[in-house]
Chains A and B, each alone.
Chain A
Amino acid sequence: QKEVEQDPGPLSVPEGAIVSLNCTYSNSAFQYFMWYRQYSRKGPELLMYTYSSGNKEDGRFTAQVDKSSKYISLFIRDSQPSDSATYLCATISSGSARQLTFGSGTQLTVLP
């Protein structure tokens, strides 16, 4: 079993839709949670960064972490064609930890 499981997609939605992207993880030591967006032939771009449980909002993006169920989500409101990309969840444990553990990514297409 992978430490971070991500809905594989691909996901296709019409422009303006609300998108929900989800991951689960198995290691209770994970404390920091990130969402990266990766366009084709580009590196991952940090979108959201949260610590422990709760919600964090940034513009059209909301990251949600539920440590009790080991579930992390990214919501995109009023989705745009420019949001079409692969979304990667990632997590890391303590402040001394060295490596991010990534999900396998969900490919999102927003249709105009």
Chain B
Amino acid sequence: DAGVTQSPTHLIKTRGQHVTLRCSPISGHKSVSWYQQVLGQGPQFIFQYYEKEERGRGNFPDRFSARQFPNYSSELNVNALLLGDSALYLCASSLKVGGDSPLHFGNGTRLTVT
């Protein structure tokens, strides 16, 4: 079975630009979450979506937005990129929202902002 797939795997952008990251969840999973992982740290929560509705938002600026499509895939958008946005962006899927539904992560998109 295919796991969580993310595209692209790597991306280099310039400060001020916009970026869109894409994620396809495990088949049957209806919830998608996005996390940011800076080198040497654990992942930090950005968003969670379930059944196309936002169910949670972490402490990130409004430059970050996301959406979930009817096929449960998801996009993460980041506007006006800053150098500090350079990180590994991880998508995770789960059957549903909640602690009793463990998250399964993709291999991430590595974003470099120059």
Residues of chain A at interface, number, CB under 8 A: 30
Q: Given A44-B43, A45-B105, A88-B42, are A99 and B100 also a contact pair (CB < 8 Å)?
A: no
Q: Say whether B33 faces chain A, with CB atoms less than 8 Å apart.
A: yes
- From B41, B44, B48, B107, A42 is in contact (CB under 8 Å) with B107
Interchain CA distance A102-B90 in the complex, whole Å: 13
Contact between B106 and A100, CB atoms less than 8 A apart: no
Give the chain A neighbours of B41 by CB distance below 8 A. 104-105
Contact between B105 and A97, CB atoms less than 8 A apart: no
Q: Say whether B58 faces chain A, with CB atoms less than 8 Å apart.
A: yes
- Minimum CB distance partner of A90 in chain B: B42
Interchain CA distance A34-B98 in the complex, whole Å: 13
- Minimum CB distance partner of A44 in chain B: B105
Q: Say whether A21 faces chain B, with CB atoms less than 8 Å apart.
A: no
Contact digits for B95-108, partner A, Cβ 8 Å, 1 yes 0 no: 00111101111111
- From A4, A97, A103, B98 is in contact (CB under 8 Å) with A97
Interchain CA distance A11-B2 in the complex, whole Å: 33
Minimum CB–CB distance from A94 to chain B (whole Å) comes to: 6
- From B4, B48, B90, B110, A99 is in contact (CB under 8 Å) with B48
Within 8 A of A (CB), among B27-75: 33, 35, 40-45, 48, 55-56, 58
Q: Given A43-B105, A43-B106, A94-B99, are A103 and B42 also a contact pair (CB < 8 Å)?
A: yes
Q: Say whether A36 faces chain B, with CB atoms less than 8 Å apart.
A: yes
Interchain CA distance A60-B58 in the complex, whole Å: 35
Within 8 A of B (CB), among A23-58: 31-32, 34, 36, 41-46, 49, 51
Q: Given A36-B105, A42-B107, are A100 and B100 also a contact pair (CB < 8 Å)?
A: no
Give me the interface of A with B, judged by CB distance under 8 Å: 4, 6, 31-32, 34, 36, 41-46, 49, 51, 88, 90, 92-105
13 additional A-B residue pairs with CB within 8 Å, beyond A43-B90, A88-B42, A105-B42: A32-B100, A32-B102, A34-B102, A36-B105, A41-B110, A46-B103, A49-B102, A88-B43, A95-B99, A96-B97, A98-B56, A104-B41, A105-B41
